[in-house]
């Protein structure tokens, strides 16, 4: 069920779209256009436009320990430049680290506010609250 993948998975707190973008970058540097095309190719049904994919990439490139390094310049449409997977991104993708533990979370999703202190995790078929509050990210 796709909506459960909108909440981060248990192993690394990645949403399905985030995981797919990191998987593409694990194969080597890509342009924003290449990320958009490859992310769409990995979907059962294409539902995200380029601005939606870029919003996810931008969010992955922010925080104290970004998962993506974005060396880009703004322009009409997607920016130009190169995206690469950071060491933190590789660790999260391999489930050796947790995205929320590294970068925190404060986002509304489907009427629910997800924060580091109030977090739900997806098992792929169900949702469950995170077992204990996560410490705030400094």
Query: How would residue 52 be classed by pLDDT, with cut points 50, 70 and 90?
Result: confident
Q: Global pTM? A: 0.77
Nearest to 68 by CA among 89, 95, 98: 89
> Which domains does the chain carry?
2-129 (1.10.10.10)
Of 127 and 2, the one with more pLDDT: 127
Residues 84 and 68: beta-carbon distance below 8 Å: yes
The larger pLDDT score, comparing residue 46 to residue 78, is at: 78
Angstrom distance (rounded) from CA 115 to CA 105: 5
Helix%, strand%, coil% for the chain, nearest 5: 35, 20, 45
User: What is the band of 127 on the pLDDT scale with cuts at 50, 70, 90?
Assistant: low
């Amino acid at each position: 069920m796709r909506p459960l993948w909108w909440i981060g998975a248990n192993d690394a707190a990645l949403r399905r779209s985030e995981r797919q973008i990191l998987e593409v970058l694990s194969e080597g540097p890509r342009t924003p256009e290449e990320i958009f095309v490859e992310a769409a190719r990995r979907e059962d049904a294409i539902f995200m436009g380029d601005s939606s994919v870029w919003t996810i990439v931008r969010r992955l490139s922010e925080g104290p320990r970004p998962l993506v390094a974005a060396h880009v310049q703004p322009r009409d449409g997607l920016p130009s430049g190169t995206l690469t997977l950071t060491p933190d991104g590789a660790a999260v993708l391999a489930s050796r680290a947790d995205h929320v533990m590294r970068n925190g979370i404060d986002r509304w999703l489907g009427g629910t506010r997800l924060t580091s202190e109030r977090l739900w995790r997806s098992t792929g078929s169900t949702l469950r609250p995170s077992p204990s509050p996560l410490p705030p990210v400094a």
